Chain A
Amino acid sequence: MNYYFERTQISPLVRIRRVRQLPYPGELAVRSGQHVTPIQVVGRAEEPVDLQVLNLVDRLGISPGELTKHLAVESGEVVERGQPLWRKRSFWGRGRQVRSPIDGTFLGVSDNQLVLAPFANLIEVRAMMPGQVVGITPGRSVTLECDGTFIQALYAAGPDGFGRLKVVTPTADASFSTSQLTADMRGLVLVAGHVDDPDLLAQAEELGVRGIIAGSVPNKLLQASQATALTIMVTDGIGHQPMAAPIFQLLKQAQERDASLFVPDPLDRGSRPEIVIAVPTVGVAEPPAAPPSVLAVGQQVRLMREPYRSQVGEVVALYDQPQVTAIEGQWPGVDVKLSGGEVVYVPCANLDLIY
Chain B
Amino acid sequence: MTATEPVTQSNDSFLIAECGHTNTTVVLFDIVEGGYRLVARGSAPSTVDAPWHDMAVGVQHAITEIVAATGRPLLESNGTLIMPTREEDGAGVDYFALLVSCADPLKVIVAGLLDDVSLASARRALATIFAQEVDSFSLADTRSMQEQLSAIWRHQPHLIFVVGGTDGGAADRLRQMLKTLRLGIGLPEDKPRPDLLYAGNSALREAFNEALGELTDLHVADNVRPDLDTEQLLDAARQLGELYERHQIAGLPGVAELYHWSSFPVQTTPRALAMVMQYLAALYQGHLLAVDLGSDGVTFVSAQPESVQLAVHSDLGLGRPLQHLLDTLDADAILEWMPYPLNADALADFMVMKALRPGSLPFTEEDLHLEQAIARQILRHGFKQSALHWEWPQRAHLPPFKLLVLRGAVFTQAPKPVQALLMILDALQPVGIFPVVLDKYGALPALGAIAAQAPLVTVQSLEAGALAELGWVVAPVGRARLGQPVMQVLMQPRGGGSIQMEVEYGSIEVLPLAPGQEAQVKLQPARRFDIGYGPGKGRTLTIQGGAVGLVIDARGRPVHLPSEDEPRRELLRRWLWELGG
Our pick among A25, A49, A108, A305 for the contact of B360 (Cβ within 8 Å) is A305
Our pick among A1, A307, A331, A347 for the contact of B364 (Cβ within 8 Å) is A307
Q: How far is the CA of A50 from the CA of B361 in the complex (A)?
A: 46
The interface bits of chain A over 73-116 (1 if a CB of B lies within 8 angstroms of the residue's CB, else 0) are 00100000000000000000000000000000001111101010
In the complex the two chains form, is B145's CB within 8 Å of A53's CB? yes
- In the complex, what residues of A have CB within 8 A of residue B351's CB? 219
Q: How far is the CA of A350 from the CA of B357 in the complex (A)?
A: 9
- Any chain A CB within 8 A of the CB of B65? yes
Q: Which of B184-206 contact A (CB under 8 A)?
A: 184, 186-190
In the complex the two chains form, is A237's CB within 8 Å of B353's CB? yes
The interface bits of chain A over 25-62 (1 if a CB of B lies within 8 angstroms of the residue's CB, else 0) are 10000000000000000000000111111000000000
Q: How far is the CA of A7 from the CA of B44 in the complex (A)?
A: 14
Q: Which of B348-401 contact A (CB under 8 A)?
A: 348-353, 356-357, 359-368
- Any chain A CB within 8 A of the CB of B563? no
- Any chain B CB within 8 A of the CB of A296? no
**Chain A residue at smallest Cβ distance from B349:** A239
- Any chain B CB within 8 A of the CB of A4? yes
- Any chain B CB within 8 A of the CB of A328? yes
- Any chain B CB within 8 A of the CB of A329? yes
Stretch at the interface among A130-138, A158-166, A263-271, A275-283: A263-271
The interface bits of chain B over 148-161 (1 if a CB of A lies within 8 angstroms of the residue's CB, else 0) are 01100110000000
- In the complex, what residues of B have CB within 8 A of residue A115's CB? 149, 183, 187-188
In the complex the two chains form, is B360's CB within 8 Å of A269's CB? no
In the complex the two chains form, is A154's CB within 8 Å of B356's CB? yes
- In the complex, what residues of A have CB within 8 A of residue B364's CB? 305-307, 326-327
Report the interface size class on chain B: 35 or more
In the complex the two chains form, is A306's CB within 8 Å of B367's CB? yes
In the complex the two chains form, is B154's CB within 8 Å of A325's CB? no
**Chain B residue at smallest Cβ distance from A152:** B51
The interface bits of chain B over 99-126 (1 if a CB of A lies within 8 angstroms of the residue's CB, else 0) are 0000010000000000000000000000
- In the complex, what residues of B have CB within 8 A of residue A246's CB? none
In the complex the two chains form, is B149's CB within 8 Å of A51's CB? yes
Q: Which of A236-293 contact B (CB under 8 A)?
A: 237-240, 268-272, 291, 293
In the complex the two chains form, is B49's CB within 8 Å of A269's CB? yes
In the complex the two chains form, is A350's CB within 8 Å of B361's CB? yes
Q: Which of A138-182 contact B (CB under 8 A)?
A: 154-155
**Chain B residue at smallest Cβ distance from A303:** B363
In the complex the two chains form, is A75's CB within 8 Å of B188's CB? yes
In the complex the two chains form, is A349's CB within 8 Å of B349's CB? no
- Any chain A CB within 8 A of the CB of B147? yes
Q: Which of B292-337 contact A (CB under 8 A)?
A: none
Our pick among B45, B64, B361 for the contact of A1 (Cβ within 8 Å) is B64
- In the complex, what residues of A have CB within 8 A of residue B51's CB? 7, 270, 291
Q: Assuming the A-B contacts A53-B146, A350-B363, are A238 and B349 also in contact, with contact meaning beta carbons closer than 8 angstroms in the complex?
A: yes
The interface bits of chain A over 1-37 (1 if a CB of B lies within 8 angstroms of the residue's CB, else 0) are 1011111000000000000000001000000000000
- In the complex, what residues of A have CB within 8 A of residue B11's CB? none
- In the complex, what residues of A have CB within 8 A of residue B188's CB? 75, 107-110, 115
Q: How far is the CA of A51 from the CA of B191 in the complex (A)?
A: 15
- Any chain A CB within 8 A of the CB of B50? yes
- In the complex, what residues of B have CB within 8 A of residue A330's CB? 415
- In the complex, what residues of B have CB within 8 A of residue A113's CB? 183
- In the complex, what residues of A have CB within 8 A of residue B154's CB? 48, 50
- In the complex, what residues of A have CB within 8 A of residue B415's CB? 325, 327-330
Our pick among B189, B357, B368 for the contact of A327 (Cβ within 8 Å) is B368
In the complex the two chains form, is B361's CB within 8 Å of A329's CB? yes
- In the complex, what residues of A have CB within 8 A of residue B48's CB? 269-270
In the complex the two chains form, is B349's CB within 8 Å of A219's CB? yes
In the complex the two chains form, is A331's CB within 8 Å of B413's CB? yes
- Any chain B CB within 8 A of the CB of A308? yes
Our pick among A3, A111, A220, A222 for the contact of B186 (Cβ within 8 Å) is A111
- Any chain A CB within 8 A of the CB of B346? yes
Our pick among A3, A51, A53 for the contact of B44 (Cβ within 8 Å) is A3
In the complex the two chains form, is A50's CB within 8 Å of B150's CB? yes
In the complex the two chains form, is B349's CB within 8 Å of A325's CB? no
Q: Which of B42-90 contact A (CB under 8 A)?
A: 44-45, 48-51, 53, 57, 61, 64-65, 68
In the complex the two chains form, is B362's CB within 8 Å of A51's CB? no
Q: How far is the CA of A308 from the CA of B362 in the complex (A)?
A: 11
Q: Assuming the A-B contacts A5-B359, A268-B50, are A238 and B45 also in contact, with contact meaning beta carbons closer than 8 angstroms in the complex?
A: no
- Any chain B CB within 8 A of the CB of A218? yes
- In the complex, what residues of A have CB within 8 A of residue B172's CB? none
- In the complex, what residues of B have CB within 8 A of residue A318's CB? none
Q: How far is the CA of A222 from the CA of B104 in the complex (A)?
A: 25
- In the complex, what residues of A have CB within 8 A of residue B368's CB? 327, 329
- In the complex, what residues of A have CB within 8 A of residue B494's CB? none
Our pick among A3, A107, A325, A331 for the contact of B187 (Cβ within 8 Å) is A107
In the complex the two chains form, is B345's CB within 8 Å of A220's CB? yes
- Any chain B CB within 8 A of the CB of A304? yes
In the complex the two chains form, is A329's CB within 8 Å of B413's CB? yes
Shortest distance from the beta carbon of A225 to any chain B beta carbon, whole Å: 12
In the complex the two chains form, is A4's CB within 8 Å of B345's CB? no
Shortest distance from the beta carbon of A28 to any chain B beta carbon, whole Å: 17
Shortest distance from the beta carbon of A152 to any chain B beta carbon, whole Å: 9
In the complex the two chains form, is B145's CB within 8 Å of A305's CB? no
Shortest distance from the beta carbon of A201 to any chain B beta carbon, whole Å: 17
- Any chain A CB within 8 A of the CB of B416? yes
Q: How far is the CA of A305 from the CA of B359 in the complex (A)?
A: 11
Q: Which of B142-179 contact A (CB under 8 A)?
A: 145-147, 149-150, 153-154, 179
- In the complex, what residues of A have CB within 8 A of residue B187's CB? 51, 107-108, 110, 115
Our pick among A110, A220, A306 for the contact of B182 (Cβ within 8 Å) is A110
- In the complex, what residues of A have CB within 8 A of residue B189's CB? 107
In the complex the two chains form, is A306's CB within 8 Å of B146's CB? no
Q: Assuming the A-B contacts A51-B146, A53-B149, are A308 and B363 also in contact, with contact meaning beta carbons closer than 8 angstroms in the complex?
A: yes
Our pick among A7, A25, A272, A347 for the contact of B363 (Cβ within 8 Å) is A347
Q: How far is the CA of A19 from the CA of B368 in the complex (A)?
A: 40
Q: Which of A304-340 contact B (CB under 8 A)?
A: 304-308, 325-331
In the complex the two chains form, is B363's CB within 8 Å of A239's CB? no
In the complex the two chains form, is B349's CB within 8 Å of A331's CB? no
Shortest distance from the beta carbon of A106 to any chain B beta carbon, whole Å: 9
In the complex the two chains form, is A331's CB within 8 Å of B361's CB? yes
Q: Which of B271-286 contact A (CB under 8 A)?
A: none
In the complex the two chains form, is B50's CB within 8 Å of A349's CB? no
Q: Assuming the A-B contacts A272-B50, A307-B364, are A238 and B353 also in contact, with contact meaning beta carbons closer than 8 angstroms in the complex?
A: yes
- In the complex, what residues of A have CB within 8 A of residue B352's CB? 155, 219, 222, 238
Q: How far is the CA of A270 from the CA of B48 in the complex (A)?
A: 9
In the complex the two chains form, is A218's CB within 8 Å of B179's CB? no
- In the complex, what residues of A have CB within 8 A of residue B53's CB? 270
Q: How far is the CA of A237 from the CA of B356 in the complex (A)?
A: 9
In the complex the two chains form, is B360's CB within 8 Å of A306's CB? no
Q: How far is the CA of A291 from the CA of B182 in the complex (A)?
A: 50
In the complex the two chains form, is A347's CB within 8 Å of B361's CB? yes
Shortest distance from the beta carbon of A143 to any chain B beta carbon, whole Å: 16
In the complex the two chains form, is B359's CB within 8 Å of A218's CB? no
Q: Which B residues contact A (CB, under 8 angstroms)?
A: 22, 44-45, 48-51, 53, 57, 61, 64-65, 68, 104, 145-147, 149-150, 153-154, 179, 182-184, 186-190, 345-346, 348-353, 356-357, 359-368, 413, 415-416
20 cross-chain CB contacts under 8 A: A5-B357, A49-B150, A50-B146, A51-B146, A110-B184, A110-B188, A238-B353, A239-B349, A269-B104, A271-B49, A304-B360, A305-B363, A306-B363, A307-B363, A326-B363, A327-B364, A327-B368, A329-B413, A331-B361, A350-B363
**Extra pairs beyond A50-B146, A155-B352, A269-B50 (7, CB < 8 Å):** A52-B146, A107-B188, A111-B183, A305-B360, A305-B364, A350-B361, A350-B363
Top-8 shortest CB links A-B: A270-B49, A108-B188, A270-B50, A239-B349, A110-B186, A50-B150, A329-B415, A219-B348
Q: Which A residues contact B (CB, under 8 angstroms)?
A: 1, 3-7, 25, 48-53, 75, 107-111, 113, 115, 154-155, 218-220, 222, 237-240, 268-272, 291, 293, 304-308, 325-331, 346-347, 349-350
